[in-house]
């Protein structure tokens, strides 16, 4: 193709021409909205570093999930905080924990909404690490036993997908086995397969008070420098029974999303994380960028990179805009 026979601008001249040749479409279909569930009643507390997002008690979480469903969003993902943290994070597998209650009540209020529950321990442990400690390090295999308990407890509450997020070796296989042994072979697994040790999780850790009290997560989450390794991680999770694989965060890792899309034949999710949300919000609230347009361009970029599913705090705002001009 050569100028002047070919003129690229011809197909950009009107909105209808642009719509005809558009390659990627952002729809509400792939969006998942995260909810932060806390103990108590009537709680709806804005998270300071995530304007527009809240810590909510179970009944408020049900309201918010119902609203997401009414906006056409197909799924929510739940994060919980316990009444009391302890060394092993035992409230994570308490059948009466906030997540378990939220799963039951949301499925009752909106049976057709997909309910996903994040399965990790950093929100539940006094030390803030994603498992049981032995000599100051996360003891992989001991933590897997607790993960199995937690996944089962979510399944009994009626969850659709369990999402193990601790980056423990074998976390997908353990979850799959535990679910199958108890007759929950229809409960799926959304695997946090390539989860990087990222500073972009800062606002999330404020929201659920899960920052490690000592050290950091670089001993289990991935080194941001590695893309090749992401393929190995994903390949292992596929072999262990993942139904959806995930890359997290999204924006500094669009190349990883694209690479996984090319090489792996499973539905792919990207997590547009708290720090990514906070940056857009801050710039938008200051009037430094056109928030709505920057948000839609960002989500479209994640979709164009190859993500089928986008977990994003922008989900409701995006769904409202898409309803106005799809």
| Interface with Zn ion (CB under 5 A) | 120, 122, 130, 166
Q: Which is nearer to ligand PBG, 184 or 196 (CB)?
A: 196
Report the residue number, 69 or 79, with the smaller CB distance to ligand PBG.
79
213 catalytic residue (yes or no): no
Nearer to ligand PBG, 33 or 184 (CB): 33
Contacts of 264 (CB under 8 A, 6+ apart): 231, 234, 235, 238, 245
> Which parts of 242-301 interact with ligand PBG (CB under 6 A)?
273-274
Binding mask 93-122 for ligand PBG (x = CB under 6 A): -------------------------x-x-x
Which string of DSSP letters, residue by residue, matches 159-211? Answer: -SEEEE-S--TTHHHHHHHHHHHTT-TTSEEEEEEEEB--GGGHHHHHHHT--
Q: Which of 201, 257, 315, 316 binds ligand PBG (CB under 6 A)?
A: 201
Question: Which of these ranges, 13-21, 98-106, 153-161, 197-205, lies near ligand PBG under the rule CB under 6 A?
Answer: 197-205
Residue 293 CB contacts under 8 Å (≥ 6 apart), including other chains: none
* Shortest spacing between CB 54 and ligand PBG, in angstroms: 14
Crossing angle (nearest 10°) for helices 58-70 and 315-324: 30
Is residue 54 within the footprint of ligand PBG (CB under 6 A)? no
| Region of 64-72, 199-207, 285-293, 298-306 interacting with ligand PBG (CB under 6 A) | 199-207
Asked if 85 is an active-site residue, the reply is no
Out of 60, 195, 281, 316, the active site residue is 195
Tokens coding 103:
């799963």
Rounded to a whole number of angstroms, the minimum distance from the CB of residue 71 to ligand PBG is 20
- What are the φ and ψ backbone dihedral angles of 256, each rounded to 5 degrees? -70, -40
Look at strands 133-134 and 114-119 and give their pairing.
unpaired
Report CA Rg, the chain. Answer: 20
Smallest gap from Cβ 198 to ligand PBG, in A, equals 8
- State which of positions 145-184 bind ligand PBG (CB under 6 A): 165-166
Residues contacting ligand PBG: total by CB under 6 A: 12
How far is it, in rounded angstroms, from Cα 195 to Cα 221?
A: 6
**DSSP string computed for 269-316:** EEEE-HHHHHHHHHHHHTTSS-HHHHHHHHHHHHHHHT-SEEEETTHH
Binds 32: which of ligand PBG, Zn ion, none (CB < 5-8 Å by kind) = none
280 within 8 A of 289, measured Cβ to Cβ? yes
Angle (deg, nearest 10), helices 291-305 and 274-285: 150
Residues that bind ligand PBG (CB under 6 A): 118, 120, 122, 130, 165-166, 201, 204-205, 210, 273-274
Show which residues are catalytic. Answer: 195, 248
């Amino acid at each position: 193709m050569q100028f002047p026979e070919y003129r690229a601008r011809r197909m950009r001249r009107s909105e209808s021409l642009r719509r005809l040749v558009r390659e990627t479409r952002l729809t509400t279909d792939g969006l998942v909205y995260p909810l932060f569930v806390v103990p108590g009643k009537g709680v709806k507390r804005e998270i300071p570093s995530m304007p527009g997002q809240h810590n909510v008690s179970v009944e408020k979480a049900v309201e918010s999930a119902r609203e997401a469903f009414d906006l056409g969003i197909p799924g929510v993902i739940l994060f919980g905080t316990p009444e009391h943290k302890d060394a092993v994070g035992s409230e994570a597998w308490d059948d009466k924990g906030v997540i378990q209650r939220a799963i039951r009540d949301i499925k009752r209020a909106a049976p057709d909404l997909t309910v996903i529950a994040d399965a990790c321990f950093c929100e539940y442990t006094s030390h803030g690490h994603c498992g049981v400690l032995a000599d100051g390090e996360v003891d992989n295999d001991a933590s897997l036993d607790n993960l199995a308990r937690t996944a089962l407890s979510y399944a009994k509450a009626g969850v659709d997908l369990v999402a193990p997020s601790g980056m423990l070796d074998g976390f997908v296989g353990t979850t799959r086995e535990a679910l199958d042994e108890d007759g929950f072979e229809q409960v799926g697994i959304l695997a946090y397969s390539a989860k990087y040790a990222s500073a972009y999780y800062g606002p999330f850790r404020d929201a659920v008070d899960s920052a490690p009290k000592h050290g950091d997560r670089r001993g289990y989450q991935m080194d941001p420098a590695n893309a090749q390794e992401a393929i190995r991680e994903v390949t292992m999770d596929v072999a262990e029974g993942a139904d959806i694989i995930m890359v997290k965060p999204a924006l500094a890792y669009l190349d990883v999303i694209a690479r996984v899309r090319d090489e792996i034949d499973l539905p792919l999710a990207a997590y547009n994380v708290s720090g990514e949300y906070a940056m857009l919000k801050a710039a938008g609230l200051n009037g430094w960028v056109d928030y709505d347009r920057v948000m839609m361009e960002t989500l479209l970029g994640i979709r164009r990179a190859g993500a089928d599913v986008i977990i994003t705090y922008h989900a409701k705002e995006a769904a409202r805009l898409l309803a106005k001009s799809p």
